[in-house]
Amino acid sequence: VNQVQSNLTSSGATAHFTNTNASSGTSNVFFIGKNPITLTNVAVYIDGVWQSKAQFVLFTANTTIQFIDSTIPAGLTIDMDVWHTA
């Protein structure tokens, strides 16, 4: 736990935020809600299953993630845990 906290602090993250989206089947882009600064500060889950950071791209300019798959099937829950500056 101390190492994780140290890594987050060194990345500039000071607060935690969770955002939940539902997939529509027509998009692979999801709004995060806060700027995580780096990919290290984002954890993504589809229906509770953790997604490797290789499965999506982070766009800090508009605070979104885009999955490498062209679409995500409809009806899935996309959860994003984000550590950001307060």
Instruction: Yes or no: say if 50 and 44 are a contact pair by the CB < 8 Å rule.
Output: yes
With a pLDDT cut of 70, the percent of the chain lying above it is 85
Q: What is the pLDDT of residue 10?
A: 58
Instruction: Order across the sheet with 56-59: list the strands.
Output: 29-31, 64-67, 56-59
pLDDT tens for residues 38-51? Answer: 888 899 999 999 99
DSSP structure string for 57-78:
EEETTTTEEEESSS---TT-EE
Q: State the amino acid at position 51 in one-letter form.
A: Q
On average, the pLDDT of the chain sits at 87
Query: What pTM was estimated for this model as a whole?
Result: 0.81
